[in-house]
Structure 1
């Protein structure tokens, strides 16, 4: 067989091989969306065309997943924190606010007043231990009437004043929402209400804004 005849016979086969390789490369590219397509030029294969790194895509997806897990964890933490604190009374009207001036107080108002009828159930705003309970403001002065102070594990104290009845004793452990007293109008009071404070110590003069504090722990007031 002559050299010319052999050339004519082998040329279509080579063309078919190149077309097959090209089709295979395009198929892989269209299926994966990334990777390499090979084109046959002359007798050599071209270098693979680089696509987005698979490992980079996996890392990106993992980062998104971790962010979602973190957000859910934060939301769960806020929900648990809010559930661990509560307002001391239900169905109230906010009256005298923290820091308010007036003739009722020798200094600015040291708590938040919750206007409620006499005999309304007063509940512990958070788990803790009773450190003060009794008349004369439980030692803080007659202006508070009957009062209770509870120490909490986070270093804060809650105070409940102008009570008509006290249902706990010093040293008693209480839980969030537990009934501790009945509201009243004792002491220096302009009308039936609960005077509520958040303090940094058990004593008068260390109060912070109780509404701001409750909101900071997720309680709606």
Structure 2
């Protein structure tokens, strides 16, 4: 009798061990599906401890997923902000450029300077010459309105050849002469850097170049030193 009882007791696994085996098997399956590797299949620890560990692993995965989602949203928002900032900077740069001055051509060599004497001029040289090949793009040195454009110096005389004069808001005028082609007409509004003509060798010219003046009126005889003026508006040539 006592032996049979002893045999039955030793053959029956404890409830604790049976539960531990079930939990361990479950954790092993979870590991296969990526829930974590905190426990290996076959673990026979306490059921409550295993359950807590599983919950902790699931919570860690959830936290990681949440963090990744937030990071993705932040990155997306950052890109949107960057585009908005880029658009704002582009607009500000365009506004700044319109308000600024620049040289009338981008690549050049300086030749005859303002105030130079010689037989080529009725008096002293009234502008600054930029030696450039025929067909070089001539740009508006500043925002303004075209008040002269055409042959015969735009009305200033044949010595200038084809010429353009632009009036600016600060009361000054810029003049561009010896042009091969004119791309603007009287009354046109131009911005700093706009293409207004192509350089040439028309009029009283000893070779291909752009004659550039800064004037206090639209007419011949009111020119001031263009290099000094450009320096005063932060353009060094």
Same fold (TM over 0.5): yes
Say which SS state the counterpart of residue 230 (structure 2) adopts: helix
Distance (whole Å) between structure 2 residues aligned to residue 185 and residue 198 of structure 1: 20
Gaps of 5+ in 2: 1-95
Distance (whole Å) between structure 2 residues aligned to residue 82 and residue 216 of structure 1: 17
Structure with higher helix content: 2
User: Within the alignment, does 1:157 sit opposite 2:169 as a pair?
Assistant: no
Gaps of 5+ in 1: 1-79
Say which SS state the counterpart of residue 148 (structure 1) adopts: strand
- Match for 1:143 among 156, 159, 162? 159
Cα offset, 1:134, TM superposition: 0.2
Say which SS state the counterpart of residue 133 (structure 1) adopts: strand
What TM-score do the two structures reach when normalised by structure 1? 0.63
Residue in 1 aligned with 2:141?
A: 125
Residue in 2 aligned with 1:167?
A: 183
What does 1:39-188 align with in structure 2 at a 5 Å threshold?
A: 84-188=100-204
Residue in 2 aligned with 1:219?
A: 235
Distance (whole Å) between structure 2 residues aligned to residue 82 and residue 105 of structure 1: 34
Cα offset, 1:139, TM superposition: 0.3
Does structure 1 retain, via aligned residues, the 8 Å contact 2:132–2:210? yes
What TM-score do the two structures reach when normalised by structure 2? 0.59
- CA 82–116 in structure 1, closer or farther in 2 if over 3 Å, else same: same
Q: CA RMSD in A?
A: 1.3
Cα offset, 1:220, TM superposition: 1.4
Does structure 2 retain, via aligned residues, the 8 Å contact 1:81–1:218? no
**CA-to-partner distance for each residue in 1:37-74, whole Å, 9 max, x for gaps?**
xxxxxxxxxxxxxxxxxxxxxxxxxxxxxxxxxxxxxx
Distance (whole Å) between structure 2 residues aligned to residue 201 and residue 164 of structure 1: 24
Question: Highest CA radius of gyration, 1 or 2?
Answer: 2
Does structure 2 retain, via aligned residues, the 8 Å contact 1:116–1:183? yes
